[in-house]
């Protein structure tokens, strides 16, 4: 009974649809919908009229849907369904549903118990989402919390290790809770033991100078908003780093535009994200960035070697002629010899792989 009540909130506070085994909408909402269907629940949105919706935002960290049942004996009984971050949703709850399906008043001790349970789930690397319902937003009933598995792709850990050997510092920026963020960071090979983690609220309390002093020691940023992402990029640039920023959402557009190299996702990325980026990953694979860095470094080293070659030969010839002129001795190189040197240099330049 309690599980069905929780899953009903997950379906009603949801904009995803499943048609012909294909998902249309956000993967997180699709996971909630699939979970309800696998537990034998049909799409209960057909029994409700949606009256109002407050979309999820990085600032509020919750989504609110007000609905009313279509069949209510002539009386329209409105109800609010909420899903979001547990630390934002739980303070709005005045009651909770126990495992037997009974309603009980919410207490401070129960809130701490629920937060502890949610963080235990998050330590396994699961994304935690709290689900509530009630007559209004200020008086909700806590129905439970679910953990959604969003594992890193195969090869990401090896890619992070390769970038570390190439002196490329990788930082994780996420809107998830701290336990989830640290667990996922460990999965991909980030050193969370010898580095720090910062929350979005901590970034708000910091000045630019304070952030600049510790930005290089932080490997994980959690519970961040778009303005925090922009602040992180600016701070890394101020301390002399070349910043490459990856993103796929509309909110990532500003940070991608400000970064030295904005990298958008080709499959799941929005059009705004792609327009703001300098590079698009067609396969949405983080490991592809390594190939791009290798090609970029190859071009850079070839250009540097070419410039060194041109300068060394040109300066040598110029010094020889200038020294002979200053000493009043005959020019050791005539025009034919200088032209022959230029031909040889041009031939080597053409042969150099650029």
User: DSSP character for 20?
Assistant: T
Percent above pLDDT 90 for the chain: 39
Same fold, 2-149 and 156-291: no
Handedness of CA 88, 134, 122, 30 (dihedral sign): negative
Averaged pLDDT score across all residues of the chain: 87
**Measured distance CA(218)–CA(224) in Å, rounded:** 14
- pTM (2 decimals)? 0.78
User: What is the assigned CATH class of domain 2-149?
Assistant: alpha beta
What is the tens place of the pLDDT at every residue in 291-335?
A: 888 888 888 888 888 888 878 877 887 888 888 888 888 877 777
Handedness of CA 225, 231, 235, 237 (dihedral sign): positive
User: What is the assigned CATH class of domain 156-291?
Assistant: alpha beta
Strand partners, 65: 53, 81
Question: Is residue 23 very low, low, confident or very high in pLDDT (cuts 50, 70, 90)?
Answer: confident
What is the tens place of the pLDDT at every residue in 200-225?
A: 989 999 999 999 999 999 999 999 98
- Domain borders along the chain are 2-149, 156-291, 294-351
Question: Distances from the Cα of 250 to the Cαs of 58, 109, 282, in angstroms?
Answer: 12, 39, 18
How many Å is the Cα radius of gyration of the chain?
A: 29
What is the tens place of the pLDDT at every residue in 76-128?
A: 588 999 999 999 999 999 999 887 778 899 999 999 999 999 989 998 889 99
């Amino acid at each position: 009974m309690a599980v069905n009540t929780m899953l009903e909130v997950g379906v009603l506070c949801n904009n995803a649809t499943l048609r012909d085994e294909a998902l249309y909408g956000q993967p997180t909402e699709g996971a909630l919908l699939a979970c309800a269907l696998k537990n034998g629940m049909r799409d209960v949105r057909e029994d409700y009229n949606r009256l109002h919706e407050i979309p999820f935002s990085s600032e509020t960290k919750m989504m609110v849907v007000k609905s009313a049942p279509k069949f209510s004996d002539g009386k329209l009984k409105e109800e609010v369904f909420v899903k979001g971050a547990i630390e934002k949703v739980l303070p709005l709850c005045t009651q909770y549903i126990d495992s037997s399906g009974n309603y009980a008043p919410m207490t401070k001790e129960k809130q701490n118990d629920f937060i502890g349970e949610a963080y235990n789930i998050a330590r396994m690397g699961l994304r935690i989402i709290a689900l509530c319902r009630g007559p209004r937003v200020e008086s909700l009933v806590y129905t439970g919390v679910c953990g959604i598995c969003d594992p890193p792709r195969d090869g990401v850990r090896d890619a992070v290790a390769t970038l570390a050997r190439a002196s490329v510092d990788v930082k994780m920026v996420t809107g998830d809770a701290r336990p989830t963020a640290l667990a996922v960071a460990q999965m991909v090979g980030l050193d969370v033991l010898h580095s720090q983690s910062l929350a979005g609220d901590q970034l708000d309390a910091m000045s630019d100078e304070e952030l600049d002093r510790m930005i290089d020691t932080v490997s994980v940023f959690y519970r961040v908003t778009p303005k925090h992402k922009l602040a992180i990029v600016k701070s890394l640039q101020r301390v002399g780093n070349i910043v490459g920023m990856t993103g796929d959402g509309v909110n990532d557009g500003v940070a991608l535009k400000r970064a030295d190299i904005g990298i958008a996702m080709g499959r799941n990325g929005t059009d705004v994200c792609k327009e703001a980026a300098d590079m698009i990953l067609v396969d949405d694979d983080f490991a592809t960035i390594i190939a791009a860095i290798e090609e970029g470094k190859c071009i850079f080293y070839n250009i540097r070697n070419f410039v060194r070659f041109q300068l060394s030969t040109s300066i040598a010839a110029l010094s020889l002629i200038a020294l002979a002129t200053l000493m009043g001795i005959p020019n050791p190189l005539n025009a034919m010899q200088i032209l022959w040197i230029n031909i040889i240099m041009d031939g080597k330049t053409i042969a150099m792989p650029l």
